[in-house]
Amino acid sequence: MTERAAEEMNRPPVFGKEKKLGGYNMDKVVRIKMGASPEYTIETMGDYAGLGGRALTSKVIVKEVPPLCHPLGIENKLVIAPGLLSGSAAAISGRLSVGCKSPLTGGIKESNAGGQAAQVLARIGIGGIIIEGEADPGKLYTLVFKKDQVSIVSADHLKGLGNYATVEKLIAEYGEKPAYMSIGQAGEMKLAAASIACTDIELRPTRHCGRGGVGAVMGAKGVKALVFDDTDCPVRKPADLEKFKAANKVFINGIKSHPVSGEGLPAFGTNVLANVINEAGGFPTNNFKMGQFPNVAKISGETQAETETSRGGLATHGCHRGCVIQCSGTYVDKNGKYVTKQPEYETVWAHGPNCGIDDLDAIAQMDRMDDDFGLDTIEMGATIAVAMDAGLAEFGDAEGAIKLLKEVGAGTPLGRILGSGAAVTAKAFGIERAPVVKGQAMPAYDPRPIQGIGVTYATTPMGADHTAGYAIATNILKVGGFVDPLKPQGQIELSRNLQIATAAIDATGMCLFIAFPILDQPETFQALIDLLNAFYDLKLTADDVTALGKSILTDERNFNKAAGFTKAHDRLPMYFKREKLPPHNATFDVTDEELDQVFNW
């Protein structure tokens, strides 16, 4: 008997009777009820028909989760949803949304990831997974989704494992065909910075629903992993194949012809921004004390790509099949051995300049550790910088930063403080300079010399989040026009429009990087609408896309209001108005009264 066969015979028992899913039109919701004997039901989309991605996750949270519940309590729910176009032949449509009440912010959360999970889940025919209740203390489970069945299987043998070891064991059990989602030690410990890993094309757990502590909620439910196996499931078919193919061709051409999505990102990855943002004076350094990093050339996207290719790694790579931007890569060590996926711009900044570190190998090591433990790289980099301000390590001390990160993985008392995020760490050590909004750490753009992103940080329902309304596009890259980043004028309208558009894009399953061509190319934006219309036999217009975005944001803000949020939560920390940031000596000058006008529709 083979080792694989022996493992199959010894697999823990399945709970609940298997049920046929039937159909592959993403028209089913699977509701998982965790408890002493976990069970599930398969439902029609019902009230959630016509929704996907962020539109679905936020609607479920608003409709089914008490706003005042504890994020780690039995009343919270974890919602997983592919986008409206996921699982189809539409280019770059493989983004996955995960929603819940956030243990980091205390408000609503949608956390988004690439990888293969969304594409595979959609082809199985599942529009959403709703995980509710909680398992018995100490019990862990794997949820398995196949063409004709759902299974809930004991995962006690995966307890305490990092994401890499977890996926390795899952592959031994279920093979190389499925896509996998999992949590590491941070999620099991229910730390507020915990992420959920999604596997990439090579089945590495490198694409993360990182922000807001969604991994902690998955851990609180007693779910260690999810397995999506689309064997014998076809690609989702559009209602009008010819119109769909024509729209997809225009859409792909637009993406490939734009200088950002067609040239910069494929050549140097997201870290192409390091030199750009440093030159603009908005590259947060040493816990947001400076806007430029003197050694930026050592950690730039250009240097990173050269390092990867010279060692036998990859500077251009897609995180899921169907990606035409290919902004990822593969980072290897000096001996050509795999370390991690190409660290993203946010990760390079967070564990690099924000901590005063200029060593790409050390940054890659921390990226690997974050992915393995299951931690948000932005939150952890910001947290380590706060810890450095508190004297736990010196700025520039890579070994000290790695040591602090190991504390988190080990679950020591200090590690649990750090794993709870930058706001908690600052409070524990008496530090004012905590660059957070609604408890979530700011990403790699200082809001003082880039005021539009400051408006987004302050007002998005998600806590400080660049992806919620990426004002960098217009403030710095001059995509979709230009709004002077150093002046408050025009920033409210810019952030408002981008937040609306982003919410809608997050519902489609499309990568946010399509924003670059659709902001500059009217025909590419129309092609996106044409893709949706051809797929679903609709007659959507640009106004309908705007209405969808507004609807999502309205739901999210209503939830946060019911959870106790007020306009006082839509603010940056006071020191951003008080402390001048070199080299521009800028402060954040958008007034509170103006911030209150972002959602005035």
φ, ψ for residue 16 (rounded to 5)?
A: 85, 155
Kindly state whether residues 204 and 293 are assigned to the same domain.
Answer: no
Chain centre to alpha carbon of residue 395: 27
Is pLDDT above 50 for 355? yes
Phi, psi of 232 (to 5 degrees): 70, 15
- Asked if residue 17 and residue 82 are part of one domain, the reply reads yes
- CATH number for 316: 1.10.569.10
Cα–Cα dist 276/283, whole Å:
9
Within this chain, do residues 105 and 208 fall inside the same structural domain, yes or no? yes
| 42 and 148 within one domain | yes
Are residue 190 and residue 273 in the same domain, yes or no? no
In this structure, the answer to whether residues 47 and 131 fall within a common structural domain is: yes
Residue positions counted in the chain: 601
Q: Which residues pair with 327 in a beta bridge?
A: 317
The 10s digit of each residue's pLDDT in 222-281 is: 999 999 999 999 999 999 999 999 999 999 999 999 999 999 999 999 999 999 999 999
Q: Is the pLDDT of residue 56 over 50?
A: yes
Say if residue 84 is in the same domain as residue 220. yes
The answer to whether residue 53 scores a pLDDT higher than 60 is yes
Q: Measured between alpha carbons, how far is residue 426 from residues 170, 294, 437 in Å?
A: 38, 26, 13
Report the Cα 31 to chain-centroid distance in Å. 23
For the ranges 315-324, 332-341, 348-357, 425-434, which has the lowest average pLDDT?
A: 315-324
Res 321: pLDDT = 87
| 482, 491 Cβ separation under 8 angstroms | no
pLDDT band of 11, cuts 50, 70, 90: very low
Other C-beta atoms closer than 10 Å to the C-beta of 68 total 11
- The residue behind tokens 């489970």 is 141
Give pLDDT, residue 26: 85
**From the CB of residue 412, how many other CB atoms can be counted at a distance below 10 Å?**
13
Give the residue from 446, 480, 504 where a domain finishes.
Answer: 446
What tokens does 80 get?
A: 């997983």
Radius of gyration of the chain (CA): 22
**How much of the chain, in percent, has pLDDT values that exceed 90?**
94
Domain presence at residue 351: yes
> Residues 65, 127: one domain?
yes
Encode 575-586: b = buried (16+ Cβ within 10 Å), e = exposed.
ebeebebeebeb
Residues 401-418 have a mean pLDDT of 98
Query: Could you give the CA distance from residue 553 to residue 559 in angstroms, rounded to a whole number?
Result: 10
Does the pLDDT at position 449 exceed 80? yes
Ramachandran quadrant class, 438 (left: phi over 0; alpha: psi -120 to 50; beta: rest): left
Of residues 6 and 574, the one with the higher pLDDT is 574
Inter-residue contact 114 to 196 (CB < 8 Å): no
Q: Answer with the one of 398, 413, 446 that is the final residue of a domain.
A: 446
pLDDT digit string, tens, across residues 570-591: 999 999 999 999 999 999 999 9
Share of the chain above pLDDT 70, in %: 96
Helices (H), 148-291: 163-174, 185-188, 214-220, 241-257, 259, 265-268, 273-279
pLDDT in tens, 282-334: 999 999 999 999 999 999 999 999 999 999 999 999 998 889 999 999 999 99
Cβ burial 389-405 (10 Å sphere, 16+ → b, else e): bbebbebebbebbbebb
pLDDT score, position 16 = 39
Quote the distance between the C-alpha of residue 301 and its chain's center.
21
Segment 441-456 mean pLDDT: 98
Nearest to 12 by CA among 241, 225, 220, 184: 225
**Assigned token pair, 395:** 């700025």
CA dist., res. 200 & res. 87, Å (int): 15
pLDDT at 10 over 50: no
Asked if residue 391 belongs to a domain, the reply is yes
Confidence band, pLDDT 50/70/90 cuts, at residue 482? very high
CATH code of the domain in which 69 resides: 3.60.9.10
In a domain, 21, yes or no: yes
Residues 316, 369 within the same domain: yes
- The predicted structure's pLDDT at residue 17: 39
Q: What is the pLDDT of residues 181-200, one digit of tens each?
A: 999 999 999 999 999 999 99
pLDDT of residue 452: 98
Q: Which domain covers residue 173, as residue numbers?
A: 3-228
How do residues 357-382 score in pLDDT, each as one tens digit?
999 999 999 999 999 999 999 999 99
> Is residue 470 one of the residues assigned to a domain?
no
148 — pLDDT class (breaks 50, 70, 90): confident
pLDDT of 24: 45
Residues whose CB is less than 8 angstroms from the CB of residue 461 and which lie 6 or more positions away in sequence, other chains included: 107, 108, 553, 556, 557, 559, 560
Whether the Cβ atoms of residue 494 and residue 460 lie closer than 8 Å to each other: no
Q: Is the pTM of this model over 0.85?
A: yes
Q: How many domains does the chain divide into?
A: 2
Number of H helices, E strands in the chain: 25, 18
Q: What is the residue-averaged pLDDT of the chain?
A: 95
84 and 135 inside one domain: yes
Domain boundary among the residues 228, 257, 275 is at 228
- Reduced to 3 states (helix: H, G, I; strand: E, B; else coil), residue 298 is helix
Is residue 326, in this structure, part of any structural domain at all?
A: yes
Is residue 255 assigned to a domain? no
Q: What are phi and psi of 37, to 5 degrees?
A: -130, 90
Average pLDDT over residues 462-481: 97
pLDDT for 358 equals 98
- Scanning the structure block, which residue is given the tokens 């521009």? 584
Residue 320, pLDDT score: 87
Secondary structure letter of residue 342 according to DSSP: P
Residue at 246 is within a domain: no
438 and 335 within one domain: yes
Inside any domain, residue 513: no
> Does residue 184 share a domain with residue 47?
yes
